[in-house]
Amino acid sequence: MTDWEKVIAFHGHPCCLLAIGYRATRVALEKLGAGSPGHDLVAVVENRTCAADAVQVMSGCTFGKRNFVYRDNGKYVFTFACMGEQQALRVSLKAGVLSREGDGFVTLMEKVANGLATEEEREEFYHRQEPLMKYILEGPVEEIFEMQVVNLEKSLPELRLQMVTCSRCGEEMMKDHAFFQEGRPVCKDCSA
């Protein structure tokens, strides 16, 4: 099974967003000279799309190992570093790559992603995405991504295991996630 096939198997279907994360990670691993993915790598993703699944599979980084970091910026930007290194490789999708099939295609992609597309629209999308997916997977890297060496802004999130019980719902949570109201711990859900 190829790496691309492994990514598809993990995610459930091939798509151009998955291809973005796959290709960005593959390029970064090559540039960083990272041999085997996993504990020695840190990956920061700035979107919560299919692309993030590809990054996890290709890099071996996961939330559980705390070396997969999500920043909610809505960008197709991926930053990779070897553990303990201050410098990282930032890989960002060039403007216009995702919309090169036209605004109608992007609208159709949104409908499919949000489960609002008819069966005919889904078929149209998967047919129309093929050339874009092929371009992202095989096209010249310099046409698809900007790459730059940057300094990592933060270290990995610390793991805090002390638990407290929410005074309202009775569920345990990590103490550093508790809100305190009238001196009693309250979880995020109950604090609103």
Other Cβ atoms less than 10 A from the Cβ of 23: the count is 25
Domain 160-192 has CATH 3.30.60.20: yes
What pLDDT shows up at residue 160? 74
pLDDT tens-digit profile of 48-93?
999 999 999 999 999 888 899 999 999 999 999 988 788 899 999 9
What pLDDT shows up at residue 38? 54
> What is the CATH architecture assignment of 3-151?
2-Layer Sandwich (3.30)
160-192 shares the fold of 3-151: no
Pairwise CA distance, residues 58 & 61, whole Å: 8
For residues 110 and 125, the answer to whether their CB atoms sit within 8 Å is no
pTM for this model (two decimals)? 0.85
**What are the residue ranges spanned by the domains of the chain?**
3-151, 160-192
